[in-house]
Structure 1
């Protein structure tokens, strides 16, 4: 093994530890304390925000070092180093809690930092970078490092990217002691918004929520052609809209759906790709949308209810595309229908499990009707109590399950918390050096003011940033790097930022670092690269629809009812044509010439050409009617 490959392996992400009794006890106590504390904050209990963020970051870093090894080669047992780093994390954040009053009375930048302030500030940044390396990888650490180095030496480089210059003390002051850096908007959203919804998903899952989604999906679509894959699409969409994590969705629902799809005739690669694509869509499907929508609301000032309503039609088009792809492929390859005897009716499932609708209706109502997303999350968690009481037998299992779900929720939010802390360091650097404006100007200049080229360049930046990172962290970085360039094109704020959310989400299936595809590959035992490329093909609409709503905001319910309805119908038929082209089937085999026609019609229907789309729309409907009728006549005369 070469020196370089050994170095890369040593810098790789760590593995989950097998905790010893002490580590297990500490992990449980800290997890419960954080869960209870931040649930109380979400429910309305007042705690100083700065102190709460220090506690959240300290707890997150401590748990990361307790639960994650230094790299893949390290033993999975606990070590003195892990306990030492966990202790340093606790002490560093405890210092800021204890010194909170003194720090709140000083004037940032103007009043000098003490020696201990600088020591603990540096310690905290180093710990965040090490936790980032262990949980996400060296790429994000390198990215943050580049920005930090730029802050220190950027005043000496000259040229358009030079800034006024600053020393180490000023940089630390800005990054740690103001609300524009480490303890800025990104970490706030992770602590006060993402956390409560992840906790809701963990509790709901632990008390049978994932099983309910699977059963109701099975009842609704299991009897159809390709029913096993349609169950995967519907159940993954429902679960993903609550969990908001593509990887968690794949692992949770995919463990059921992927083997079922393979058993009924889908190839391993196809089954895993369908699951990865369906799970990824949860990050753009209201009500939770992978929590990036809450960050978007904080960044833009747009109410969350407005964002969720705007995202509804594009999200439904996304799932229509995946569902149609499954249906066409199953019809083309004659996939066997699932065993009808094991599929319950929807009425039976709802009669047995109606109680699961209480938290789901609560969360949907609360996030849309209340202008307090964190309180909505707390209400949703409280609404699971009837589920606990009615569905847990024996009742004595309620408390152990609840404790386990709190621990699960904390473990799921660790990566997001660390990523948002790292993103805060980047955002702080951008704000104090005005690098945001420089990068935006550079993107605009590189594209020479070309509308499509500027958007495409921004999309490329978002997808690269999204390699292996949680959706909220990708959005936090891209919102300050790419959004200004998009808005400079006179694109409205809502479409510009929603485009970033979309491409931050689909980076989960975009090779080479497609985390959802890798998760699905581990279940299907198939090639992750093939799964990633096929998932992108199945979810092709996700790469098209953002460009559509950028130039036609009516797709986001911005405009008159006639505009919204017409643009939606055009996009719906365009999605059908695009999916049929890629699958090569629609009421029969689709030849090369038909594929070209479908592609051309899809592009016309997506284009902002007003009433000129009526002709291709009408002609395509007539053609589809004729093709469907011809297909049915052929089936009637078939000797089979």
Structure 2
């Protein structure tokens, strides 16, 4: 009964804060079966083309978008209070209309290609239908923010002549806009859909099969075994488990609700307050999208946008992501020390040996994936396909993880259903990116940011950060990154910053919109579990994530932090100084080292940590000396307090 109550609470929170979870559960078995077969067929098609190769670009992407659109209308109701046990006739009609678009493209493919730039009436009709359906589907699964942005950008393209200042452009007719968004690879069928229809689909499917094999339980158990007994152990368990899961599924809110239902009550039981417990889970879940190797599929998008190898993105992202989690761990440790919070009794925790014996083999697919991606020389798509097969095979090694035929069928269905929100978001980004490309809005936005910051890099970075957080509010991670990369990253590139550095900078802050009030969906979902105040939980999440707010500035000023174009000695030096800096940042934020810190000491420690941001050797030395001085003062203060207690 308790488990059932927990599941009901999880579903309630998911539906409240994550519109992606408001799908239909049909009462009619025949309808449910037909939808399930359709979804499985979509999954099998994507597995087939991952092995044998895709169709020509426009056909493949249109088929992907059309089937996902149809599944969206079949599964997601038009409004919150709609009956979710049956599908109204109009949604079935919209699904068929979505499928008719790809039928038209397949039927008249050569004509569409030959007419490039000169659309006929049929092109315009299906183009308009596509745009409307994509925006409506996005409204259903992601909320109003993304489709509203799409509408605003289309309006911007139409009325460019009336725009003020350097945001004005020559203006485009409806025919030109529809043609650009429909048949070009800069519109709906753009880069985002290209990545969603290949890499993202397969890796979400991989995550679905990992879940079916019990990987989530393994992460929880191994985290408990490793850290549950330590000071403030349950919070560390939340950080470790949520980081691992977040990297694979890339869904911050869903991760908070599923993992948080287990970790947040444990944190509260050991003495953490409601807001802090929720904030730990929220910040750790959001950070999973920054953590290689999968990064919630964002790494694949970034590699495609930048035109560089996937493994280059992953290698650059490793150290910053680990520093982010080190910052959270530091504050968790300091909060536990300050309040005298102990871990869980070892007798109540699983043993590492038992966990590894029971489920340790589930690590084999992850190791295999890393080998395939970095050392095999095979394509990412083929590597993902083989890893899915390996996951199914490895699950058979023990009865507790074994997937039967029904589990495999459910994995295909649930994986495809999980793809829907991401794929729709990628399609809905198309009008935004497409309008940006033909109007030059991205360059204008870059000029605006640079002009606000002037020649001062720090001011420009700060304006870019604010822009990214605002643009990322209420959006899923991938469209949040794509929009910010299109509009904000060029501003940093204009100042001579390496494109990969610029894109990682905007990516970090687009992700942090999930924990930054006033719209902090991950934090609000965590507060729903912990019973804490949502806004306070959001601000507590920001405090816990302070390293994440500082680290992007660190790698802009010192790109060696991304381990690019550095010697081994430089890599070691930057790693050591950044680790020291992040630990001190976390300690200053929490106000505790050995004992409670006075406000002056906190400020000085914070300044000392910031001194380690630059690659300047003198600043590093000054920062380290300042830190050593504070540590000595804190140790002496702790000894005095200890002597007083003894007396």
- Separation in 2 of the partners of 1:497 and 1:246? 20
Report whether the alignment pairs 1:616 with 2:623: yes
Query: 1:78-117 CA deviation, whole Å, 9 max, x = no partner?
Result: 222222222222222332233223323x1411xx322222
| Alpha-carbon distance between aligned partners in 2 of 1:48 and 1:554, rounded to the nearest angstrom | 40
Deviates more, 1:74-83 or 1:330-339: 74-83
* Deviation, structure 1 residue 44: 4.3
Q: Is 1:74 aligned to residue 82 of structure 2?
A: yes
State the partner residue of 1:588.
Answer: 595
Distance 1:449-1:23 versus aligned 2 partners, 3 A rule: farther
2:533 is matched with which residue: 516, 527, 545? 527
CA distance in 1, matches of 2:88, 2:608: 62
Calculate the aligned-residue CA RMSD, in Å: 2.4
1:84 aligns with 2:80: no
- Of the candidates 477, 493, 503, which is equivalent to residue 497 of structure 1? 503
- Number of residue equivalences: 626
1:509 Cα deviation from its structure 2 partner: 1.1
Other-structure match for 2:344: 338
The alpha carbon displacement at 1:311 in A equals 0.8
1:341 is displaced (CA, Å) by 0.8
- Of 349-358 and 157-166, more deviation after overlay is shown by 157-166
**Distance in 1 (alpha carbons) for counterparts of 2:307 and 2:639:** 53
- Cα 1:609–1:371, aligned 2, differ >3 Å: closer, same or farther? farther
Correspondence 1:186-225 to 2 at 5 A: 186-225=192-231
2:404 aligned counterpart, secondary structure: helix
User: Take 1:150 and 1:289, find their aligned partners in 2: how far apart are those partners?
Assistant: 33
Q: Secondary structure at the match of 1:287?
A: coil
Q: Hey, what's the Cα distance between the residues in 2 that align with 1:625 and 1:39?
A: 60
The separation in 1 between residues aligned to 2:455 and 2:31, in whole angstroms, is 56
Match of 1:572 in 2: 579
Matched, 1:536 2:552: no
Structure-2 separation of matches of 1:14 and 1:508: 17
Q: Map residues 473-488 of structure 1 onto 2, 5 A cutoff.
A: 473-488=479-494
1:117-164 per-position Cα deviation (integer Å, ceiling 9, x unaligned): 211110110011111111122222221111111212214557533333
CA deviation vs aligned residue, 1:261-280 (integer Å, no higher than 9, x gap): 12222222211110111111
1:30 corresponds, among 34, 38, 59, to: 38
Shift of 1:639: 5.5
TM-superposed deviation, 1:539: 0.9
Unpaired runs of 5+ residues, structure 2, are 1-15
Note the 1:277-316 alignment, pairs <5 A.
277-316=283-322
Asked if structure 2 preserves the Cα contact closer than 8 Å seen for 1:244 and 1:291, the reply is yes
What is the rounded CA distance, in whole Å, between the counterparts of 1:137 and 1:361 in structure 2?
Answer: 37
Shift of 1:502: 1.1
Does 2:452 match 1:446?
yes
Give the CA deviation at 1:210: 0.4
**Separation (CA, whole Å) in 2 of partners of 1:76 and 1:532:** 31
Deviation at 1:627, TM superposition (A): 4.2
1:14, CA displacement in angstroms? 9.2
CA shift digits 1:282-325 (9 cap, x unpaired): 11110001211111111112211111111111111011111111
1:420 lines up with 2:426 in the alignment: yes
What SS class does the counterpart of residue 202 from structure 2 fall into? helix
Matches within 5 A, 1:75-474: 75-77=83-85, 78-104=87-113, 106-109=114-117, 112-155=118-161, 157=163, 159-369=165-375, 370=377, 372-392=379-399, 398-474=404-480
Unpaired runs of at least 5, structure 1: 1-8
User: Does residue 1:47 correspond to 2:65, yes or no?
Assistant: no
Length-normalised TM-score, structure 2: 0.92
Asked if 2 retains the 8 angstrom alpha-carbon contact of 1:14 and 1:72, the reply is no
TM-score, normalisation: structure 1: 0.93
How far has the Cα of 1:173 moved from its partner? 1.2
- Identify the residue that residue 5 of structure 1 maps to in structure 2: none
The offset of 1:18, in angstroms, is 3.0
C-alpha distance in structure 2 between counterparts of 1:394 and 1:243, whole Å: 19
1:500, 1:372 → 2: CA distance?
Answer: 27
Task: For residue 483 of structure 1, report the CA deviation from its aligned partner.
Answer: 1.5
* Cα pair 2:605 2:630 within 8 Å, conserved: no
* Worse-matched range after superposition: 617-626 or 117-126: 617-626
Measure, in 1, the Cα distance between the counterparts of 2:53 and 2:70. Answer: 24
- Judged with a 3 Å threshold, the aligned counterparts in structure 2 of structure 1 residues 578 and 159 are, in CA distance, closer, same or farther, namely closer
> Aligned pair in 2 of structure 1 residues 629, 216: CA closer, same or farther (>3 Å)?
farther
Secondary structure of the corresponding residue to residue 595 of structure 2: coil
State the match for 1:3 in structure 2. none
Cα displacement string for residues 169-217 of structure 1 (whole angstroms, at most 9, x for unaligned residues) = 2211111111111101011111111111111111101210000111111
In 2, distance between residues paired with 1:317 and 1:632? 30
- The 3 A distance-change label for structure 1 pair 108 and 101 is closer
Shift in Å at residue 631 of structure 1? Answer: 4.3
- The structure-2 alpha-carbon separation of the partners of 1:625 and 1:378, relative to structure 1 and needing over 3 Å to count, comes to farther
Answer yes or no: is the 8 Å Cα contact 2:362–2:395 preserved in 1: no
